């Protein structure tokens, strides 16, 4: 359960921390209230492993602070169980940060009741005018779980070698999208365990991630996800 929660946090952080301060903080995120985005995930053998539905539930603005709230329904194909979580993306003074507190109140995360999760993430650059071949800055994510002041677990993810691979159109069951493809290397450290991976994400303005691919340290595909449906437009 602990591993599942931390991996969920990292997945969100990869998306959120990929946006740098710009005129529209949410340019590469869903924009419209009530619209749902369905994403399906597969293993390297094209076997369905899970389905996620992300819905923008609320968008508010107070002075120079703007907040977008999301609900995420994640269903495992293996267990046929669904976890419902909430998170918010906040843009204030040109900076993007997030609030994951909503997910900690869910029954599915009862194992973390009374525990604190502290997230420290660098702002990772997302180019305003991306060009193929453009090198991007590195970043890191540190997630700490503590209970009564005692450290339970620390997960560190270092993101390196980020670059714009291409500006290209991607077609999925949800449609055809003009995307920015960004690749990266990542090293995840938890205790004495260290895992090197790499990945690529395709971002579309107003939609978010249309496709993601994950690779092992040898560069072989291990899993991927694609946007399969947009509802409520």
Structural domain spans, the chain? 2-231
Tens digits of per-residue pLDDT, 59-87? 888 887 888 888 888 888 888 888 887 87
For residue 102, what pLDDT is reported? Answer: 47
Max Cα separation, the chain? Answer: 50
The sign of the torsion formed by the CA atoms of 185, 188, 192, 193 equals negative
The CATH code belonging to domain 2-231 is 2.40.360.20
pTM as predicted: 0.78
């Amino acid at each position: 359960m602990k591993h599942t929660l931390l991996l969920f946090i990292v997945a969100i952080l990869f998306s959120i921390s990929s946006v740098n301060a710009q005129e529209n903080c949410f340019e590469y995120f869903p924009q419209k209230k009530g619209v749902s985005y369905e994403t399906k995930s597969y293993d390297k053998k094209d076997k369905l492993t899970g389905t996620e539905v992300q819905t923008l539930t609320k968008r508010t603005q107070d002075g120079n602070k703007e907040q977008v709230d999301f609900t995420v329904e994640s269903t495992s194909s293996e267990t046929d169980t669904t976890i419902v979580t909430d998170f918010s993306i906040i843009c204030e003074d040109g900076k993007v940060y997030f609030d994951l507190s909503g997910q900690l109140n869910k029954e599915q995360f009862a194992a973390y009741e009374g525990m604190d999760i502290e997230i420290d993430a660098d702002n990772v650059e997302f180019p305003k005018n991306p060009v193929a071949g453009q090198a991007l800055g590195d970043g890191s994510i540190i997630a700490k779980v503590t209970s009564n002041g005692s450290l339970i677990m620390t997960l560190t993810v270092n993101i390196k070698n980020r670059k714009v691979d291409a500006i290209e159109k991607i077609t999925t069951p949800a449609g055809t999208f003009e995307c920015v493809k960004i690749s990266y290397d990542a090293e995840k450290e938890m205790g004495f365990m260290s895992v090197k991976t790499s990945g690529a994400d395709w971002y579309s303005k107003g939609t978010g991630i249309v496709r993601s691919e994950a690779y092992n340290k040898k560069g072989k595909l291990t899993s991927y996800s694609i946007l399969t449906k947009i509802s409520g437009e």
